[in-house]
């Protein structure tokens, strides 16, 4: 049995001139909640299609639950749960009938897990699926996915479009499941407050490349915000006559310059001072701001083929 739930080595996928995955090497260990974030087109959907064997790579390799993705057995496929943003279900069927149909495909179905998770969402088993709210459909989908007792649960933007109450119920149900079952959860979302709350590992992708794989706290520690009075920064950024180490982003707020940088220590303040900045202070950065600045900076970098 592999120590890794997901493993890729130099995984590359090209569609014509578009490079969807660029020499991606990624290892995700068994267990825990791993968040994958990236801008649109970062390669997340392509990665999942290759991992699940729905497409083949241009080069490189990938494995899922210890098996080569292009040779997945029915046994391994049955150990994967999946919930996406659409929560697509047969609208003409009643909830109880859909649940019975889904249960028939999974011999290890756990009635207790299903009942405990569905209780978070107030879903009437006699109601037709078409009559469920978006939050109820999301909860129903999650309940069935968890009742399958998957070794790997993939959640692709599962709370998109949900109201605050439904999102809270979804996250509570997911965290309950994490304590009840040993499984690996891959959580894809643009909602940083959700990731900050539940994720143990933060994987950031951009232009098909892996650009971070660490805990959310360790990632935030890499990014720092420096505030200063610095009249010269506009000229520096326009003319690129000074290299600002680790530069991610800049904006002016109430006449002061806010500069976000990555992997810079306390000596960055000395660098600013040498460039004519004064009244220098360092501020903490939350996860959302750090990720957005990191993604934007990496999005603007040229892709190395």
Strands 32-37 vs 18-29: parallel, antiparallel or unpaired: unpaired
Give, in order, the Cα–Cα distances in Å from 194 to each of 119, 187, 280, 295: 21, 10, 32, 18
Quote the CA–CA distance of 6 and 23 in Å, as a whole number. Answer: 15
Quote the CA–CA distance of 297 and 184 in Å, as a whole number. Answer: 30
Can you give the pLDDT at residue 87? 75
3-class secondary-structure state, position 10? strand
Residue 13 shares a structural domain with residue 132: yes
Residue 230 shares a structural domain with residue 125: no
Q: 33, 200 in Cβ contact below 8 A?
A: yes
pTM of the model: 0.90
Last-in-domain residue among 166, 189, 214? 214
Last-in-domain residue among 182, 214, 246? 214
Of 218, 187, 200, 192, the closest CA to residue 295 belongs to 192
Can you give the pLDDT at residue 244? 95
Residue 177 shares a structural domain with residue 144: yes
Residue 21 shares a structural domain with residue 143: yes
Can you give the pLDDT at residue 305? 38
Domains of the chain: total: 2
Q: 185, 155 in Cβ contact below 8 A?
A: yes
Of 53, 42, 56, the closest CA to residue 13 belongs to 56
Which strand (E) or helix (H) includes residue 198?
A: helix 192-198
Residue 263, domain extent: 222-299
Residue 266 shares a structural domain with residue 205: no
Residue 304 covered by a domain:
no
Q: 29, 65 in Cβ contact below 8 A?
A: no
Those residues of the chain that have pLDDT short of 70 are 1-2, 178-181, 301-305
Q: What is the DSSP track for 245-295?
A: TTEEEEEEETTEEEEEEES--TTHHHHHHHTT-EEEEEE---HHHHHHHHH
Quote the CA–CA distance of 260 and 247 in Å, as a whole number. Answer: 6
Q: 38, 205 in Cβ contact below 8 A?
A: yes
How many C-beta neighbours within 10 Å does residue 78 have?
Answer: 16
CATH number of domain containing 292: 3.30.70
Last-in-domain residue among 214, 239, 271? 214
Instruction: Retrieve residue 240's tokens.
Output: 């690129």
Of 32, 17, 22, the closest CA to residue 178 belongs to 32
Residue 192 shares a structural domain with residue 265: no
Provide the b/e sequence for 140-149 (b: ≥16 CB within 10 Å): bbbbbbbbbb
CATH number of domain containing 180: 3.40.50.300
Q: Which region, left, alpha or beta, applies to residue 164 given φ > 0 means left and ψ of -120 to 50 means alpha?
A: alpha
pLDDT tens per residue across span 145-160: 999 999 999 998 899 8
Q: What's the gap between Cα 49 and its chain centre?
A: 16
Residue 127 shares a structural domain with residue 265: no
Give, in order, the Cα–Cα distances in Å from 120 to each of 29, 101, 171, 249: 29, 22, 10, 41
């Amino acid at each position: 049995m592999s120590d890794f739930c997901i493993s890729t080595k130099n995984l590359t996928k090209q569609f014509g001139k578009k490079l969807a995955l660029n020499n991606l090497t990624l290892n995700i260990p068994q267990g825990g909640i791993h968040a994958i974030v990236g801008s649109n087109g970062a390669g997340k959907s392509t990665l999942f299609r290759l991992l699940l064997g729905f497409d083949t790579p241009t080069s490189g390799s990938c494995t899922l639950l210890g098996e080569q993705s292009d040779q997945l057995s029915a046994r391994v496929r049955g150990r994967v749960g999946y919930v996406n943003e659409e929560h697509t279900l047969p609208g003409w069927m009643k909830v109880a009938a859909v649940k019975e149909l889904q249960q028939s495909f999974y011999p290890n179905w756990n009635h207790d897990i299903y009942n405990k998770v569905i209780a978070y969402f107030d879903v009437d088993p006699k109601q037709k699926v078409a009559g469920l709210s978006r939050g109820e459909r999301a909860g129903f989908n999650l309940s069935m996915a968890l009742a399958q007792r998957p070794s790997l649960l993939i959640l692709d933007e599962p709370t998109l479009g949900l109201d605050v109450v439904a999102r809270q119920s979804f996250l509570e149900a997911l965290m309950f499941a994490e304590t009840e079952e040993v499984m690996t959860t891959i959580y894809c979302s643009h909602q940083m407050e959700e990731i900050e709350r539940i994720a143990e590992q933060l994987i950031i992708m951009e232009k098909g490349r892996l650009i971070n794989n660490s805990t959310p706290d360790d990632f935030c520690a890499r990014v720092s915000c420096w505030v200063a009075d610095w009249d010269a920064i506009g000229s520096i950024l326009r003319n690129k006559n000074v290299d600002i180490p680790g530069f991610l982003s800049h904006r002016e707020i109430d006449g002061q310059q806010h500069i976000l940088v990555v992997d810079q220590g306390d000596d960055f303040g000395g660098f600013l001072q040498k460039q004519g900045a004064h009244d220098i202070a360092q501020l903490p950065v939350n996860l959302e701001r750090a990720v957005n600045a990191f993604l934007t900076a990496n999005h603007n970098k040229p892709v190395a083929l």
